[in-house]
Structure 1
Amino acid sequence: MWQATWLYLYLTWIRPMIKWLLRKILGTCELQRICRGYGGAARTKRVEKSLKLSKYQVLYVFWNFQCTVLQEITHGGAECDVDQTVQGIIQIKGVSQQKDPQFAPSLRGCLVQIRGYQELIHEVEGVRAEAYSSDNQEHENMLLQLWDHLMPDTSLESRITKQWGDIGFQGDDPRTDFRGMGMLGLHNLFFFADQQTELARQVLQHSHHPQYGYSFAIVGINITSLTYSLLVRGKLRTHFYNFPSPPKLSHFHLLYCEYPHFYNFPSPPKLNHFHLLYCHLLVEFDKFWLAEKPRDVMEFTRIRNKFEKKLLSLLRDDSTVLRGSFVEKGEQS
């Protein structure tokens, strides 16, 4: 009860009073202070929170792709437009662009990322909602190419065969294993095998370890589930708000670093960025699994939960970005 009372008092009286005093003393609004004082995810997440708590309701309802601003600014509801909203916020807050020329591009960069994250959720959800169909030739071709990438020296005897177990599917027909994550599970596995073929084969080889082996495809689909869950719960905002372009590092690792304040012009995350992150997490889980030296596959849930806990711990720090050496084909420098 007291927590609800405190929250009400804070949002209704204390926070507005603090903002008013700081505006009088410093001559800048809260959004200006955020854009000047922070960079990367720390900036974007604070802008997002500030807009949601604004008494003017200068707030994007990104999951509906609509924009809500004061009626006198937009003259009614309008399709979400970043530049229009930036100008609306500048007018509402009374920001002088001559005195603070960096505010507009900084704010715009944050809004692009916030909207891009919600659009990514929408796009990923669309792929996940599509069920695998044996009657869909594109689905079938992707599945068969997955085999060819991972097992180039072995031909499938038939479409329905126990051979699928060699790459970690549970039964004779992989179709049944995609029920939980739909086509997202296959897209992730295929992207990994297609874009990082040698690395995917290495992980597959690890999964055949005589003592610490596991089902490669089933674990891969489980990591799809984990990555999807982190995305829709908003936990990957830290990563994607710090991460404006495809990673191109020289070696594979969890890069844990602090970004400077030059992220004024970030790019919104795309579906391929989700696939790249999935590849990274699958490789990291493979290493994590082997390092844990499990007694048997029955320890999977424990180790998977421990792995997720580690990720969440990293992602709580606004300076974290999960990155690897992945470069998409055609983008190598």
Structure 2
Amino acid sequence: MRVLVTGGAGFIGSHYVRQAVGGAYPSLADAEVVVLDLLTYAGNRANLDPVADSPRLRFVQGDICDAELVSSLMAGTDLVVHFAAESHVDRSIAGSAEFIRTNVLGTQTLLQAALDADVRKFVHVSTDEVYGSIEVGSWPETHPLEPNSPYSASKASSDLIARSYYRTHGLPVCVTRCSNNYGPYQFPEKVIPLFTTNLLDGKKVPLYGDGLNVRDWLHVDDHCHGIQLVADGGRPGEVYNIGGGTELTNRELTSLLLEATGADESMVQPVIDRKAHDRRYSVDITKISTELGYAPRVPFETGLAETVAWYRDNRAWWEPLRARAGV
């Protein structure tokens, strides 16, 4: 069996690859895992170091928009797990062209190549941000898509293209939509690694607006476990929400990070709110729980403590990234 993992040197994709090569997913025990990653600023070969010597792992540096390369890699592939994406909201607000190119055109390029190669399963990894913002309750998978940022709009577009390849061509595609991920190896522009590394360096943390925006937090290991459940048993053409079950305001999250790093409220710097900042995200995970037996397994308190400890112990990983990206 061969698995093609796009964006497999990024935060979530590399965790999936490390788990797959390391034997965490029984259905992939003997699979060849091919990683396709362009190694943009958020991609990092070092994320794959723990499994780099495995004879089952092959790394290819390349662009998912390169139809010739994608077609060559897709030949003989049984499963595609598509993580590759531009994913930072602030960057999409500053300039959206690369988001449209990678997230929309790149996804279409992969889908067409998968169709041509008769791939048996294609899992398109998306985000809860495509739903917009919700004041109360939680979104089921049938909720209309109402994205509010260029990033989430590009992901919603790619979701619909993926759906069309199932409806039009019968390509066995599943879409997953996750809540906010956290864990080790996350690029230090996202809130948990950014705030953690700032505090470890004695720098203030920038808290948007009133700090009352609410997010549901999902450990990357739970997310990847959910993705593999969908890869193994998800029904083609279906969407599956994957959530963590821990909702916090950004202010509450900041307080936990201050406590974990031994800092106090003086290290919080309020900043002007992000444009079109969604107030609350919350996904209903009834479908994946009922159909596939998913449940988050990492308690947030444990996961957050382990994540902060990882950043404390791995300065050699994140310091060069921050310097290079100017974060």
TM-score range, shorter chain: under 0.3
Output the TM-score relative to the length of structure 1: 0.25
Name the one with the larger strand percent: 2
Q: Which has the higher contact order (CA 8 A, sep 6+)?
A: 1
Name the one with the larger helix percent: 1
